[in-house]
Amino acid sequence: MEKMNSLFPSIVSRPQNSGLMNFFVPIISIVLTLITGSIIFVLLGFDPVYALYTFFISPISSTYGISELFVKATPLALIAIGLSYCFKNNIYNIGAEGQLTMGAIFGGGIGILFHDTNAFWLLPLMIFAGAIGGALWGLIPAILKTKFNTNEILTSLMLVYVALFILDYLVVGPWKDPFGYSFPKSRPFSESGRMPLLFDGLRVHFGLIITLFLILVSWFIFSKTIFGFQLKVSGYSPKAARYAGFNQTTLVFFAFAICGAFAGIAGLAEVSGPIGLLYRDISPNYGFTAIIVAFLGRLHPIGIIFASLVIALTYLGAEDAQLFLQIPSAVGFIFQGLVLFYLLGAELLINYKLTYKKLL
Amino acid sequence: MSDTILNIENITKSFPRVVANKKVTFDIKKNAVHAILGENGAGKSTLVKILYGLLEPDQGNIKLNNKDFKVSSPAEARKQGIGMVFQHFSLFDSLSVKENLILGIDEKMSYSDLEDKLKNISSRYNLPLDLDAPITALSAGEKQRVEIVRILLQDPQILIMDEPTSVLTPQEVESLFVTLNALVKEGRTILYITHKLEEVISICDTVTIMRSGEIIDTSSTSNQTAKTLATKMLGQKLDDLKTNYGHIKDEVNFEVKNISCDFNDPFLTDLKNISFQVKVGEIYGIAGVAGNGQSELMDILTGENINIKSGSIIFDSKNIEKYGPQKRRDLSISFVPENRLGHSAVPELSLSENILLSQFPKNNFIKNGIILKNNVDEFANNVINEFKVITPGNDAKASSLSGGNLQKYVIGREISSKPKILIISHPTWGIDAGAEHSIRESLIELSQNGTSIIVISQDLDELIEITHKISVIYDGNLSEPFKTSEIEIEKLGLLMGGKNE
């Protein structure tokens, strides 16, 4: 037992961590990810410089590529900023994918209902419905958490699959396109139910403007309002929040509802933007990947913008790598996983140090 | 051959702001229950932590069976024959009794060996256990039994028990005493840490009394009474008393009536029919040894816990027992709980931001949900200047301040809004003498300006210095109040030790 104790390192809290490290942690994680990535490429028998170029540079070496980068970064940034309402409050909502899906169903449902209507109010109504759908889906784990003290990590995650099955049912059942040759997809939305494109010939759409606006609003809420302050305090120290008399139940509800609404808008922006209708695979796990974006961006609005671009690049890089290097596109997920791994590792080592002291 | 098992000689241990053990010297006889009696902070825990290898003494020697005894970890202490049962259990809740026992012992042992040994131990020492029950299903007394059995599996010569009865029901206490007697009959020695006078007299053979890190006396319990023990434990504290009653108005403005509260948790103390009244300008002290219901009462006074079973709190002829903290602040009632870091202040936030934790109606900090930063900063600067808080500025993180400075800041924040009532728990806990003095001065000054103050504290010196009336809380019961200027220290000591004659 004593011998074993000296083998196991234990972690000891560091007295003070420097604010500068907040900035360096994401950078260090990205650098370590690139190094590890190169090693993986070498092991697979590729020239690492060429592979990294294919992965990270060639996707954005054209105007179209840059537009695609923003197309992918838009939902990631929007969901991540929503998630930061929860994470700041120490609520681990990992069900944004489900909230995104529900937003797409609610907003898309309006689009399908008015598929032959062309009116200026259609898109705003769809966006609103998307936000409501996401928020309602987010409120389910909030109610379960505050009333029955369930763990929101589990409930929000399980609700993702419920939402995906509902979407599945709708597009093969009641909402199937009657002229769609039995493909599991809905009718296309009318032109006025689509996100306007920002530039001719490029897919980057109005969702980007909505995202930037909501990031700006969130920055204001986090740094200037008492609501943002309350979220922060109850995240840092629930006891202090209770002492201050902040209503923690209300905070949990708001955090989930806002996060759900943002994810719902992101979902609606996907289906009314690049996709144009409802079908099974509307999101390549944006809701999950946004968790990485939120932490890589240190829950800070500016950080989240940069982090969403970096992670969006792993999506594009994976597609190019598949095309030019014949590597499975899953390599993109490996990069995302590596970033998160190094991020959490660096975070731990900044707040704690390893010692080999005896435990007992 | 001597009958002494442990000689403790000149043990000294200092911490940054306090000397916890000053030249502690006494012997422990074999085959006996030896009590160490003292108030909180008397140095009892430090001493037993040294014996159990959790702390290293600065000076001094310990001899076990006349041989030098020096250990640097609990595992070594156990090997040398010293075991300890802590006040808070260290068991895995989701595992069974058997699994916890196997995990907790230092040698390897098979389940069948373990069961044989256990049968023996259980019957010899009155420690029945259901080996397959999960820990969560056990009462506090049964959990303690698991801890005792775990230590006994290693056949210790000396068993240290830290406040063993604090989480037990009276019946469980009876059965624990049967166990302790059986252990002593077998030739083992028990070192019994307590502040309960009754227990010392009823089951201990010898008692060592500690006060402020020093040994006051070691003697046989046979010629002691609760009264003599209480006097020795507390010392003479009434030297230079200058309580001033002149400014107190004959008008009650805060009243607690028959508050009872059940928690169903062995680590919390149920409150039993607590009543008291505070007059305008009066400082009312609540004394008592830690863990007798102080923090539970504090939560009810602040409104952090509004789930009381019965009773009422009346302020300005309003019933406020169902009000949360903010609603109470709106009535100009202010609170400072015991813990600074993470309760009355958030360590990660700046001093300025920490102002916002406690807002009173006349503070102009928020407009339409937006924080008026200039007003908050100005308020923070005033607190810093007026209460001489040493800090680089209002944007310094709360965690960067020393305990005393942060406490001055927190109390300053509350006092600056000129509350009608201030409810404060352990105002000078863990801070330096300078800050302690200035905080006590500010509290006295505040009361002279008409604020009523309720002080919960374990520090009797502090209560005697600043309060006008004192009650004692023991096991969730609050005694009648005594005028501080006429108080008898023995009476107080007896009440704190749970004896009410």
Contact B371 A245 (CB under 8 A): no
- The model's pLDDT over A225-238, given as tens digits with 9 standing for 90+, comes to 999 999 999 999 99
Residue A72: the pLDDT is 95
Nearest CA in chain A to B298: A243
pLDDT at position A11 over 80? no
Q: Which of A233, A243, A298, A358 should one mutate to test binding to chain B, selecting the residue with the greatest count of B CBs within 10 A? A: A243
Residue B481: the pLDDT is 93
Q: Chain B partners of A249 at a C-beta cutoff of 8 Å?
A: none
- Domain interval for residue A84: 70-220+250-324
SS3 per residue for B278-338: EECCCEEEEECCCCCCHHHHHHHHHCCCCCCCEEEEEECCEECCCCCHHHHHHCCEEEECC
Of B230, B294, B209, nearest in space to B500 by CA: B230
**Pair A110, A302: CB distance under 8 Å:** no
Mean pLDDT of A158-174: 95
Closest to A226 (Cβ–Cβ): which among B324, B366, B400? B366
- Strand, coil or helix: B497: coil
Q: How far is Cα of residue B350 from the mean position of the Cα atoms in its chain?
A: 29
Tracing tokens 């007992």 back to the chain, one arrives at: A360
CATH superfamily placement of domain B236-332+420-501 = P-loop containing nucleotide triphosphate hydrolases (3.40.50.300)
Q: What is the pTM of this model?
A: 0.78
Taking the CA of residue B329 as centre, how many other CA atoms within 13 Å lie in the half-sphere pointing to its CB?
23
- The model's pLDDT over A111-150, given as tens digits with 9 standing for 90+, comes to 999 999 999 999 999 999 999 999 999 999 999 999 999 9
Of A303, A250, A360, nearest in space to A22 by CA: A303
Report how many Cβ contacts below 8 Å link chain A to chain B: 75
pLDDT at position B242 over 70? no
Strand B482-483 with B469-474, pairing: antiparallel
What's the CA gap between B103 and B197, in Å, rounded? 36
SS3 per residue for chain A: CHHHHHHCCEEEECCCCCHHHHHHHHHHHHHHHHHHHHHHHHHCCCCHHHHHHHHHHHHHCCHHHHHHHHHHHHHHHHHHHHHHHHHHCCCCCCCHHHHHHHHHHHHHHHHHHCCCCCCCCHHHHHHHHHHHHHHHHHHHHHHHHHHHCCCHHHHHHHHHHHHHHHHHHHHHCCCCCCCCCCCCECCCCCHHHCCCECCCCCCCECHHHHHHHHHHHHHHHHHHEHHHHHHHHHHHCHHHHHHHCCCHHHHHHHHHHHHHHHHHHHHHHHHHHHHCCCECCCCCCHHHHHHHHHHHCCCCHHHHHHHHHHHHHHHHHHHHHHHHCCCCCCHHHHHHHHHHHHHHHHHHHHHEEEECCCCC
Report the DSSP beta bridge partners of residue B34: B191, B206
Q: Which residue has the higher pLDDT, B265 or A306?
A: A306
Q: Which two tokens stand for residue B440?
A: 């006590």
pLDDT at position A5 over 50? no
Q: Is A110 inside any structural domain?
A: yes
Domain assignments of chain B as residue spans, ordered by start: 4-234, 236-332+420-501, 342-417
Residue B2: the pLDDT is 56
**Proportion of chain B above pLDDT 70, given as a percent:** 97
Of B39, B15, B13, nearest in space to B489 by CA: B39
Residue B38: the pLDDT is 84
- The model's pLDDT over B304-360, given as tens digits with 9 standing for 90+, comes to 999 999 999 999 889 999 999 999 999 999 999 988 889 999 998 999 999 999 999
Nearest CA in chain B to A4: B106
pLDDT category of residue A352 using cuts at 50, 70 and 90: confident
Q: Which two tokens stand for residue A212?
A: 């930037």
- At B425, phi and psi to the nearest 5? -115, 130
Q: Chain B partners of A5 at a C-beta cutoff of 8 Å?
A: 75
**Pair B441, B425: CB distance under 8 Å:** no
pLDDT at position A339 over 90? no
Strand B4-15 with B18-29, pairing: antiparallel
- Strand, coil or helix: B495: helix
Q: How far is Cα of residue A6 from the mean position of the Cα atoms in its chain?
A: 41
Q: What DSSP line would sit under B389-433, residue for residue?
A: ---S-TTSBGGGS-HHHHHHHHHHHHHHT--SEEEEESTTTT--H
pLDDT at position B118 over 90? no
**Proportion of chain A above pLDDT 70, given as a percent:** 94
Q: Which residue has the higher pLDDT, B168 or A193?
A: A193
Nearest 10 degrees: Cα torsion B131, B135, B141, B147: 70
**Pair B382, B394: CB distance under 8 Å:** no
Closest to A244 (Cβ–Cβ): which among B73, B358, B370? B358
pLDDT category of residue A332 using cuts at 50, 70 and 90: confident
Radius of gyration from C-alpha coordinates of chain A: 22
Contacts of B146 (CB under 8 A, 6+ apart): B89, B91, B97, B100, B101, B129, B135, B138
pLDDT at position A349 over 90? no
Contacts of A281 (CB under 8 A, 6+ apart): none
Residue type at A343 in one-letter notation: L
Q: Which residue has the higher pLDDT, B237 or B368?
A: B368
Mean pLDDT of A69-88: 97
- At B319, phi and psi to the nearest 5? -80, 120
Of B287, B240, B236, B231, nearest in space to B490 by CA: B231
Q: Which of B102, B307, B349, B357 should one mutate to test binding to chain A, selecting the residue with the greatest count of A CBs within 10 A? A: B357
- The model's pLDDT over B427-437, given as tens digits with 9 standing for 90+, comes to 988 777 778 88
pLDDT category of residue A4 using cuts at 50, 70 and 90: very low
Q: Chain A partners of B400 at a C-beta cutoff of 8 Å?
A: 16
What's the CA gap between B18 and B432, in Å, rounded? 9
pLDDT at position A353 over 80? no
Closest to A1 (Cβ–Cβ): which among B75, B349, B369? B75
What's the CA gap between B276 and B293, in Å, rounded? 15
Q: Which residue has the higher pLDDT, B237 or A213?
A: A213
pLDDT at position A179 over 60? yes
Mean pLDDT of B361-374: 92
Of A113, A120, A87, A136, nearest in space to A263 by CA: A136
pLDDT at position B202 over 80? yes
Residue A14: the pLDDT is 67
Q: Is A338 inside any structural domain?
A: no
Instruction: Report which secondary-structure segment, H or E, holds B440.
Output: helix B433-448
Tell me the shortest Cα–Cα distance from B357 to chain A, in angstroms. 5
- Which residues of chain B approach chain A closer than 8 Å at the C-beta? 72-75, 106, 302-304, 324-327, 329, 335, 337, 339, 342-349, 353, 356-359, 366, 369-371, 399-400
Segments in B55-169 forming alpha helices (H): 74-79, 97-104, 111-125, 140-152
Q: Chain A partners of B324 at a C-beta cutoff of 8 Å?
A: 245, 247
Tell me the shortest Cα–Cα distance from B456 to chain A, in angstroms. 17
Q: At what angle do helices A152-172 and A122-148 cross, to 10 degrees?
A: 140
Q: Which two tokens stand for residue B18?
A: 């306090």
Instruction: Report which secondary-structure segment, H or E, holds B464.
Output: helix B460-466
pLDDT category of residue B199 using cuts at 50, 70 and 90: confident
- Say how many Å lie between the first and final Cα of chain B, rounded: 43
Task: Report the number of distinct structural domains present in chain A.
Answer: 1
* A49-63, A284-298, B99-113: the lowest-pLDDT one: B99-113
Contact B325 A360 (CB under 8 A): no
- The model's pLDDT over B273-304, given as tens digits with 9 standing for 90+, comes to 999 999 999 999 999 887 889 999 999 999 99
pLDDT at position A357 over 60? no
What's the CA gap between B334 and B311, in Å, rounded? 21
* A44-48, B370-374, B384-388: the lowest-pLDDT one: A44-48
Residue type at B232 in one-letter notation: K
Contact A245 B346 (CB under 8 A): no
How does the average pLDDT of chain B come out, rounded? Answer: 88
Contacts of A352 (CB under 8 A, 6+ apart): A11, A12, A13, A14
Of B481, B496, B418, B492, nearest in space to B278 by CA: B481
- The model's pLDDT over B170-188, given as tens digits with 9 standing for 90+, comes to 778 888 899 999 999 988 9
pLDDT at position B236 over 70? no
Report the DSSP beta bridge partners of residue B336: B424
Of B93, B267, B270, nearest in space to B168 by CA: B267
- The model's pLDDT over A200-213, given as tens digits with 9 standing for 90+, comes to 889 999 999 999 99
Q: Which two tokens stand for residue B322?
A: 């169902």
What's the CA gap between B501 and A346, in Å, rounded? 62
What's the CA gap between A155 and A90, in Å, rounded? 16
Handedness of CA A91, A92, A96, A102 (dihedral sign): negative
pLDDT category of residue A325 using cuts at 50, 70 and 90: confident
Exposure b/e, A282-299, CB count within 10 A at least 16 = b: bbeebbbbbbbbbbbbbb
Report the DSSP beta bridge partners of residue A238: none
Q: Is A300 inside any structural domain?
A: yes
Residue A356: the pLDDT is 65
Taking the CA of residue A321 as centre, how many other CA atoms within 13 Å lie in the half-sphere pointing to its CB?
29
Q: How far is Cα of residue A156 from the mean position of the Cα atoms in its chain?
A: 14
Contact A226 B339 (CB under 8 A): no
Residue B237: the pLDDT is 54
Residue B142: the pLDDT is 86
Closest to A226 (Cβ–Cβ): which among B324, B337, B369? B369
Question: What is the spatial order of strands in the sheet that B4-15 belongs to?
Answer: B18-29, B4-15, B59-64, B67-68
- The model's pLDDT over B401-439, given as tens digits with 9 standing for 90+, comes to 888 889 999 999 999 999 999 999 999 887 777 788 889
**Pair B43, B233: CB distance under 8 Å:** no
pLDDT at position A222 over 90? yes
Tell me the shortest Cα–Cα distance from B223 to chain A, in angstroms. 40
Q: Is A255 inside any structural domain?
A: yes
- The model's pLDDT over B9-64, given as tens digits with 9 standing for 90+, comes to 999 998 876 788 999 999 999 889 999 998 777 888 889 999 998 888 999 999 98
**Residue A66 vs residues A72, A234, A312: alpha-carbon distances, Å:** 10, 39, 10
Contact A360 B73 (CB under 8 A): yes
CATH 3.30.499.10 for domain B4-234, yes or no, is no
Nearest CA in chain A to B344: A240
Mean pLDDT of A316-322: 89
Nearest CA in chain B to A237: B342
